[in-house]
Amino acid sequence: MGQSDVRDSRRAAGGPDGGRGRIPEQRKGDGGEPPHGHRRAGKAPRRRRHRILRWFATILAVLIVGTAGAGYLYYRHLNSNIKTDKLNIGEHHAAKPTPNAAGQTPLNILLIGSDARDSKENQKLGGAKETFGGTPLADVQMLVHLSADRSNMSVVSMPRDTLLTLPKCTDPKTGTEYQATLGRRMTNESLGRGGPGCTVATWEQLTGIHIDHFMMVDFAGVVSMADAIGGVPVCVDANIYSKDSSGHGSGLKLAKGTHPVKGKQALQWLRTRYGFEDGSDIARTKAQHMYMNSMVRQLRENATITNPGKLRSLAEEATKALHVDEGLDTVKKLYDLSNELKKPAPDRITMTTMPFVYVGARVAPKPGDADKLFRLVRDDIALDGKDKKKSPPKESDDPAAPDAEIAVQVENGTRTAQQPAQQGRANQVAGILTSAGFTKATADQQQLLSEEKTVIRFPSVDLEGDAQRVAKSLGIPLSSVKQSTDVSGVTLVVGADWRLGNTYPKTAADDDKTPDTALALNGSDKKACMKVNRNFTW
């Protein structure tokens, strides 16, 4: 069962604001692409500050530490390099997923790239002097989902200028409370509302996906890790120079073909928007996915490193670059995590972008498609479509009670990130059940949840037969009947897939297919090559 079980995380989302909230002003970049945010107004085009994706290099580094036989004092030194913060500083948290039949649960990690200019090195790399020491933005956000059986990995990127209602967050260091926004704001502002724990809270509110850990890196971290790893091959289909006549651009200059990038050049690749095909944040996201896939392959092909000096350098750079949640505060914990993350083969890694629609110059989650992608991740369904065919759920051995004796609570889960709840829906479906003989069915008028697909939950095996009986009477598939400790009795949550009508709609054959709008890229694709805008060639 996916993390959508939790109710509190859904309540946190509140109602839609219609997109009338204040849209953050742009701030001017420094010799690069004009960045996003609310610090400074300007007419310059938008630009994202930095890119993360040296994350897999971190995984390699901690793996090496675990095998290099480092002494206890050095181990303590490495631990002291690691910066930590609270995981979720919002009011509500998404529920942890229900273990599968083998007792395994998925693992979800939020990767955050900060544009902080809080050090000399970050200021040198990031430029924009007027923003030195200012509130950082989460300009890169990628959710890494490792399946419960560790056979596959899915990555979902969210464009930094996605407009969302940001949740209430409390800064764990100062106690400052940031109230939930009345209007929609850019998701990258979440980092400045108490730290990375607010970015985690924002994701959980939007997606209903429980996040286990976060890993954050800044400009200097990207460069140091790229240097330590030795370069990552990337490809362009023509000569590229990311700089226009006004000086906007990352400065990336590459000849046509495949080249290993590292250090500042790796940062330029991950920041480039001017120069790629359509000059948008979406093109930049594609470039990040290419970089990430290539890095994974590089690490697998060069996993055996015997040079002690290089091992030590990798360990130092990895631990210094990281800002993580308190659950990853030691090298040992990072090492254990690395062992989990290296299990899926590249051909079972799928990179995606959250389906979106344009709202002026910004974007918002695409109705239907974005919810579907989040639901696939919540339900631990592989985005590459290669899951083994699952056996249909078997009927419970425990017989159901007579219909008139089955108590059913009906809740309204028709609200989505794009649509308000269908008013009165819980009462309508409770009436359908009552007419069918379930006279103890009642509607919870207060619960306005968010559930893409209708689901029936039960707390213990002795109520499974009752829950399945309710499903059969409404034509709901048994696969939508889930055990959950978040309910006290048989609970029917009417999802966004059943907003109207007395009959549950039949499930489409491609219901578990990744939306085309998610722009999926397979991790084993070595032929991917970024298309260059002919106005930025040389």
Question: Per-residue DSSP letters for 180-239?
Answer: PPSS-EEGGGGGGTTSHHHHHHHHHHHH-----EEEEE-HHHHHHHHHHHT-EEEEESS-
Torsion over CA: 484, 489, 492, 493 (sign) = negative
Is the pLDDT at 472 greater than 90, yes or no? yes
Is the pLDDT at 68 greater than 50, yes or no? no
Q: Which residue has the higher pLDDT, 287 or 348?
A: 348
Name the class of domain 26-383+520-536: alpha beta
**Which DSSP state fits 504?**
P
Query: For position 220, what pLDDT does the model report?
Result: 62
Query: For position 473, what pLDDT does the model report?
Result: 96
| Mean pLDDT confidence for 122-142 | 60
CA angle 122, 118, 227 (to 5 degrees): 25
Query: For position 512, what pLDDT does the model report?
Result: 85
Query: For position 479, what pLDDT does the model report?
Result: 87
| Mean pLDDT confidence for 180-208 | 94
Query: For position 526, what pLDDT does the model report?
Result: 84
Q: Which residue has the higher pLDDT, 471 or 338?
A: 471
Quick: pLDDT tens for 478-522. 989 988 888 999 999 999 899 999 999 986 656 789 999 999 989
Rg from Cα positions in the chain: 24
Element holding 141 (H helix, E strand): strand 138-146
Phi-psi map region of 162: left, alpha, beta (phi>0 left; psi -120 to 50 alpha): beta
| Mean pLDDT confidence for 416-433 | 89
Query: For position 341, what pLDDT does the model report?
Result: 85
Structure tokens at 533: 């805008």
| Mean pLDDT confidence for 148-169 | 94
- pLDDT over 70 percentage in the chain: 76
Closest CA to 255 of 240, 271, 243: 240
Is the pLDDT at 411 greater than 80, yes or no? yes
Contact (CB, 8 A) for 139 and 160: yes
Query: For position 265, what pLDDT does the model report?
Result: 87
- What are the backbone dihedrals phi and psi of residue 41, each rounded to the nearest 5 degrees, phi first? -80, 155
| Mean pLDDT confidence for 281-300 | 78
Looking at the chain, the domain(s) classified CATH 3.40.630.190 span 26-383+520-536
pTM above 0.75, yes or no: no
**Least confident segment among 124-138, 223-237, 246-260:** 124-138
Q: Which residue has the higher pLDDT, 232 or 490?
A: 490
Q: Amino acid letter at 133?
A: G
Query: For position 314, what pLDDT does the model report?
Result: 67
Q: Which residue has the higher pLDDT, 205 or 510?
A: 205
**Least confident segment among 12-26, 43-57, 163-177, 476-490:** 12-26
Quick: pLDDT tens for 24-54. 333 333 333 444 444 433 444 444 444 444 4
Confidence of residue 394 (pLDDT cuts 50, 70, 90): confident
Distance between CA 478 and CA 466 in Å, rounded? 12
Is the pLDDT at 130 greater than 60, yes or no? no
Quick: pLDDT tens for 257-269. 999 998 788 888 8
| CATH code given to domain 403-498 | 3.30.70.2390
Alpha helices per DSSP H over 302-454? 308-321, 331-341, 369-378, 425-435
Query: For position 149, what pLDDT does the model report?
Result: 95
Confidence of residue 225 (pLDDT cuts 50, 70, 90): low
Query: For position 417, what pLDDT does the model report?
Result: 66
Distance between CA 353 and CA 290 in Å, rounded? 13
Looking at the chain, the domain(s) classified CATH 3.30.70.2390 span 403-498
| Mean pLDDT confidence for 147-167 | 93
Is the pLDDT at 126 greater than 80, yes or no? no
Query: For position 283, what pLDDT does the model report?
Result: 82
Is the pLDDT at 430 greater than 90, yes or no? yes
Query: For position 4, what pLDDT does the model report?
Result: 41
Is the pLDDT at 132 greater than 50, yes or no? no
Is the pLDDT at 122 greater than 50, yes or no? no
Distance between CA 501 and CA 489 in Å, rounded? 25
Closest CA to 390 of 98, 149, 108: 149
| Mean pLDDT confidence for 411-432 | 89
Confidence of residue 55 (pLDDT cuts 50, 70, 90): low
Query: For position 224, what pLDDT does the model report?
Result: 66
Confidence of residue 315 (pLDDT cuts 50, 70, 90): confident
Q: What is the mean pLDDT of the chain?
A: 80
